Amino acid sequence: MTSTNPPPAGPSATDAALSSLIVNSGYGGLHATILSAVALVLSAFSLYEASFKTADIEIYVPPVIQYARDGGGDTEVFVVPITVTNAGARTGTVLSMELSVEDLKTKRTKRYYSAFLGEHQVDPDAANRSFAPLSIPGHATFSDTVRFYPIGNPFPKLAEEAGDYRFTLSLVTAAAARPDLIDRVLATKPAPVVFERTLPWVSEQQLGQRRITISMPEKGWTAVPAAQLEGPGVPK
């Protein structure tokens, strides 16, 4: 008598559904873990940017600065509008500014310091606003005009004739009084800003007696009239 045994039963529908649920749960759990880790990293980065990032000071200069004279025409003055930004979260302090100017024709160089704030005064007896350290809060900006005077002896003057000049503007910033680990590892000094400007003419009488200022534009720069900026699609 021949005996036949039934073949072993395969996985039931219930077992297949359970296996699928386990696989899918594991796959979803892995993704959830990754997403949670990414969210945690982003939150930590946002917290650092908003509250702990060290001061990140940068300075910007417009295309046109001014050249003037003080002291009856004996003392050179460079009048530079500036904007200082702090992209960090902590307050940064600018103690002073230094301007190094090179005559590109003679290769002579002279240094100047941030003496006063505000435009050059036509009246020699007008009150001056002395430059004081600038405290720039996190994510804030400061804009004003800085007048730079020679460091030490004003003679000989550097800009005695028309020509091209190279400027290097550096910021002297304060270090943290009690630096923490973030200050020690991540704090940086502002990079100097280098730019060139053209002095189109010089008049000893106009500069000394009338105390005028001479515009020094960026080489090749021309102002664009407002009419040209307003295209046909720009509402007036």
pLDDT digits (tens, 9 = 90+) for 147-176: 999 999 999 999 999 999 999 999 999 998
Q: Strand runs (DSSP E) across the chain, as ranges?
A: 57-60, 64-70, 75-86, 92-103, 109-117, 129-130, 134-136, 141-150, 163-173, 193-199, 214-217
| pLDDT at site 14 | 54
Tell me the mean pLDDT in the region 103-130: 97
CA dist., res. 166 & res. 159, Å (int): 12
219 vs 152, more confident: 152
pTM of the model: 0.77
CA dist., res. 94 & res. 85, Å (int): 11
Q: Evaluate whether 101 touches 165 at the Cβ level (below 8 Å).
A: yes
pLDDT band of residue 87 (cuts 50, 70, 90) is very high
235 vs 48, more confident: 48
| pLDDT at site 52 | 62
Place of tokens 């007896």: 125
| pLDDT at site 220 | 77
Q: Is the pLDDT of residue 207 over 90?
A: yes
